Chain A
């Protein structure tokens, strides 16, 4: 059996992805994924906010310009926001932001808004896996720390 080329293993691209999770749905869904021991890629780091609507575009833009390879906002399904309408406002902002990012050459998959309920541990892990796969395929974020 041929051993893998160690050099290649070392330089394998592992994207770093930030996920803002709302306390009531997505964060609880992430907790459930953990309790259920759903194994998933290690790329994603979670920041807890009370509502997906707390995440301003500035933070997403800042994260991408800092060189993070992807940013996700995960919130309650439409109609299920703990604060009634926060995720609806998030959705409007995200539509505009995603298109603006794409306009300057940041691939749409690098910024994702997804809905994950407190019961959807499996969906959380699927979302993480999908994001990791897609962003790995895109390669490093070219806008990070650009001189």
Chain B
């Protein structure tokens, strides 16, 4: 190993880091660390300026290790690794130190200690960097097919997009019909059209597409593998079917909450908006004169704190429609806050008001009260603006309830090894930078299974997920991060402990073919199967097996650096 020449780049991240951590002080400290030949501060290391500074300094100072102290490797590691590669340095000779999420952002009130901590984190990163080794990435082929789970509008959009690009798509829908939530809707905001036209055209396109293999009704039973190489088995109408895909898009949608509030389910004239739309669609609504709608039913409360985003617009849509059907009717919408963002939605809201829909704001501490024994007769509500309780006659009460996660999200999350976030919706890799990907490579997310979204957003997310998924499909090869296990056959004693702990059956005991060790039984890693968890490396008693990028000497050096030992 050449003598390490380490360059350290410390990011201000504007004021995100620099506003808390004394970056110049950390730079000076870094200069004194073993093997560091260059250290500098950058306003934004990830900017073009920062990246070219890394590249230039690699050349100028003949750096053979690079440490960047900035944000999180979970989003920015590829960028800095590529910068190293561009400058001719093996990208695995790069080490990331997180001083933003793990330091400046969580110690804003304690600049001195945050600075001391940042120094230690840099010291640990430099200690590890000293032991980094160049690695070659293993390339694996991508099976040129996709699975889309969910035949709602997001899933169908994703499937069509990929199929139109020429890729084979397995579309798995658990109901016997395509369309998802769209099938239950009466009209769509803000265009006020019936969804049938939209549904029919998409469904027809999906059903008739030669590249789309429709599995319906079907549920995913098992999925294993990794990007480019997933083995899936599904239960299709009682029959078990298996196939191989390279990528997976999760677009399983959501369900509408059926509330246990306002005597829903007990009084005949209390409906959710979804019930109302179904009745309108079926022509079964009947006469009405006084309509009251209540928003945020079961939403934005301690046990379900999120805003479902769609309900305000849905309520406005249906309120206006009630006036349209019966202009003599009195229609009230009781709301907490109205969210009608953007140009079209605000306009839509204004038109509803012009049509005569009345909006009354209520406070969660004084929620509306339902009056009536067999049917709702009236609704009492405290009107904040008038500072008094008003009683509104009511023969139809409609509740705006939020979208809630599907019951099978957890099972799917476990099967695919993708996370579920607060409230039970799926969690993407990064809220801003990777909105339609999971942290697990090769698996993507779209539509309301992630978060309440309207049709336009669901379609856009379907397209976005499809275009992300098309990248590996198009490339045909994916590089697997070089963090797989390697065996030193010289010291391996062939005890098979690693074989027992490996979750992927990636290790076998075999006779060595290496000169001088012929016939010795040693562990052998299949790099195509190894996922780089490092379980084997922790279990091997004589450490004959190591995980690249997380070797004993690297981890131990970090521990020793933190505790002031060399």
Asked, given contacts A48-B73, A85-B503, whether A68 binds B563 with beta carbons under 8 Å apart, the answer is yes
Q: Which chain A residues border B185 with CB–CB below 8 Å?
A: none
Q: List 14 A-B contacts (CB under 8 A).
A: A16-B562, A16-B563, A34-B106, A48-B98, A49-B555, A53-B534, A54-B547, A66-B559, A66-B560, A80-B417, A82-B533, A83-B417, A84-B503, A89-B539
A82 and chain B: residue at smallest CB distance: B417
Distance to closest chain A CB from B421 (angstroms):
4
Q: Of the candidates A39, A51, A117, A119, which one forms a contact with B109 in the assembled complex, judged by CB atoms under 8 Å apart?
A: A39
Give the size of the chain B interface in residues (CB under 8 angstroms). 55
User: Are A42 and B114 within 8 A (Cβ)?
Assistant: yes
Distance to closest chain A CB from B409 (angstroms):
12
A36 and chain B: residue at smallest CB distance: B105
User: Are A86 and B124 within 8 A (Cβ)?
Assistant: no
User: Are B419 and A80 within 8 A (Cβ)?
Assistant: yes
Residues facing A in B84-143 (CB within 8 A) are: 98, 100-102, 105-110, 113-114, 116-117, 120-121, 124
Determine the distance from Cα of A50 to Cα of B73 in the docked complex, in whole angstroms: 12
User: Are B558 and A47 within 8 A (Cβ)?
Assistant: yes
Distance to closest chain B CB from A74 (angstroms):
12
Give the size of the chain A interface in residues (CB under 8 angstroms). 49
Determine the distance from Cα of A38 to Cα of B106 in the docked complex, in whole angstroms: 6
Determine the distance from Cα of A34 to Cα of B555 in the docked complex, in whole angstroms: 24
Q: Is chain A's interface secondary structure helix, strand, loop, or mixed overall?
A: loop
Q: Which chain B residues border A54 with CB–CB below 8 Å?
A: 533-535, 537-538, 547, 550
8 other A-B residue contacts (CB within 8 Å) besides A23-B74, A39-B109, A86-B535: A27-B72, A31-B101, A34-B105, A45-B117, A58-B552, A59-B559, A89-B501, A119-B427
Q: Is B366 an interface residue (CB 8 A)?
A: no
Q: Is B407 an interface residue (CB 8 A)?
A: no
User: Are B108 and A119 within 8 A (Cβ)?
Assistant: no
Q: Is A63 an interface residue (CB 8 A)?
A: yes
Q: Is A135 an interface residue (CB 8 A)?
A: no
Residues facing A in B508-566 (CB within 8 A) are: 531-535, 537-539, 547, 550, 552, 555-556, 558-560, 562-565
User: Are A118 and B419 within 8 A (Cβ)?
Assistant: yes
Determine the distance from Cα of A42 to Cα of B110 in the docked complex, in whole angstroms: 8
Q: Is B43 an interface residue (CB 8 A)?
A: no
A85 and chain B: residue at smallest CB distance: B503
Determine the distance from Cα of A68 to Cα of B534 in the docked complex, in whole angstroms: 24
Q: Which chain A residues border B562 with CB–CB below 8 Å?
A: 16, 18, 45, 63, 68
Q: Is A35 an interface residue (CB 8 A)?
A: yes
Q: Of the candidates B109, B414, B535, B564, which one forms a contact with A89 in the assembled complex, judged by CB atoms under 8 Å apart?
A: B535
Q: Is A115 an interface residue (CB 8 A)?
A: no
Q: Which chain B residues border A23 with CB–CB below 8 Å?
A: 74
Q: Of the candidates A31, A53, A80, which one forms a contact with B72 in the assembled complex, judged by CB atoms under 8 Å apart?
A: A31
Q: Of the candidates B421, B427, B534, which one forms a contact with A49 in the assembled complex, judged by CB atoms under 8 Å apart?
A: B534
Q: Is A30 an interface residue (CB 8 A)?
A: yes
Determine the distance from Cα of A125 to Cα of B107 in the docked complex, in whole angstroms: 11
Q: Of the candidates A34, A45, A49, A86, which one forms a contact with B101 in the assembled complex, judged by CB atoms under 8 Å apart?
A: A34
Closest 6 CB pairs of A and B: A34-B101, A54-B534, A66-B563, A83-B533, A119-B421, A56-B538
Determine the distance from Cα of A48 to Cα of B532 in the docked complex, in whole angstroms: 13
Encoded as 1 (CB less than 8 Å from any A CB) or 0, chain B from 492 to 504 comes to 0000000001011
Distance to closest chain A CB from B507 (angstroms):
14
Q: Is B392 an interface residue (CB 8 A)?
A: no
User: Are B538 and A50 within 8 A (Cβ)?
Assistant: no
User: Are A50 and B550 within 8 A (Cβ)?
Assistant: yes
Q: Is A139 an interface residue (CB 8 A)?
A: no
Counting chain A CB atoms within 10 Å of each CB, which of B124, B531, B560, B563 scores highest?
Answer: B563
